[in-house]
Amino acid sequence: MMPGAGVPVLSLDAVSIRYRGGDGSLVNALEDVTLRLVAGEMLGIFGPSGCGKTTLLMAAGLLEIPTEGTVRFSGTQADTMAGEAALRDFRRRHIGFVFQKPNLVPFLTAVENVALAMVIDGVPAGEAEQRAMGLLAALDIAHRAGNRPAGLSGGEQQRVAVARALANDPVLLLADEPTAALDSRRGRQVMELLLGIARRRLAAVAVVTHDPRSIDLFDRMIEMEDGRIVNESRAAAA
């Protein structure tokens, strides 16, 4: 599953997600959002806190079934799939996640953390670790492969997390504020990494960020407010 650049990967059609709040009232976390992602593009998602950015990633990542609307992966209608187990299988094979915190498994070394994402898909441990070393090398962190997360800096951890997200060669890479915990130089590095993934691996990359300094890296940016996309802009051709 490796479409060429510009091929549609994911489409959200009129997706709404409502939560029932603690007081019983409904929260419209996502309201009638329509969005398309194509292979090789890097999308920036901006907006104030609580506007629904994470919820949008959850819908795109098949972690939250829309209350209304559909999520389609290259033709597969996600919400008609056979429940949680099937969605998980789909995530394992085709989607990569990067979070604000690296969320590495503390008792695994860097290379094992990356290999884990292949092992859960049935790749033998030895082969998985070999491929994981390749990914770490590509992200310029191979020299730290034998360290546990506690022995890595925040930036190094985040690069390991990106390597893990790439382990299943995803068509869609979702990142929720991946640079929030990093200084601006390291943050910039991670953003450039993500852009490289979009370009070289032709994945569709969606990044939630508050950081205006990396605006120049996005092909497309959307701005959200109260669960809606209120503004969309395309980068001027460089």
Ligand X SMILES: Nc1ncnc2c1ncn2[C@@H]1O[C@H](COP(=O)(O)OP(=O)(O)OP(=O)(O)O)[C@@H](O)[C@H]1O
Residues in touch with Mg ion (CB under 5 A): 54
Here the tokens at position 174 are 């979702």
Place of tokens 């033998």: 124
Residue 212: HSE in the Cβ half-sphere, 13 Å Cα cutoff: 3
Phi-psi region of 24 (alpha: psi -120 to 50; beta: other; left: phi over 0): left
Whose Cβ is closer to Mg ion: residue 54's or residue 168's? 54
Amino acid identity, position 17: I
Q: What sections of the chain are H helices per DSSP?
A: 53-60, 83-94, 110-119, 125-138, 154-166, 184-200
Angle of CA points 220, 163, 122, to nearest 5°: 115
Residue 21 contact, options Mg ion, ligand X, other proteins, none, Cβ 5-8 Å cut-off depending on partner type: ligand X
Which of 63, 133, 217, 235 touches other proteins (CB under 8 A)?
A: 63
User: What is the C-alpha radius of gyration for the chain, rounded to an integer number of angstroms?
Assistant: 17
**String marking each residue 94-123 x if it binds other proteins according to CB under 8 A:** -x-x-x---x-xxxx---x--xxx-xxx--
The residue among 17, 69, 61 whose CA lies nearest residue 37 is: 61
Residue 29 contact, options ligand X, Mg ion, other proteins, none, Cβ 5-8 Å cut-off depending on partner type: ligand X
Which of 11, 15, 55, 206 touches ligand X (CB under 6 A)?
A: 55
Whose Cβ is closer to other proteins: residue 30's or residue 115's? 115
Whose Cβ is closer to other proteins: residue 90's or residue 215's? 90
Is residue 220 within the footprint of other proteins (CB under 8 A)? no
Interacting residue ranges for ligand X, rule: CB under 6 A: 19, 21, 27, 29, 47, 49-55
Interacting residue ranges for other proteins, rule: CB under 8 A: 54, 57-58, 61, 63-64, 85, 88-93, 95, 97, 99, 103, 105-108, 112, 115-117, 119-121, 125, 148, 164, 168, 176
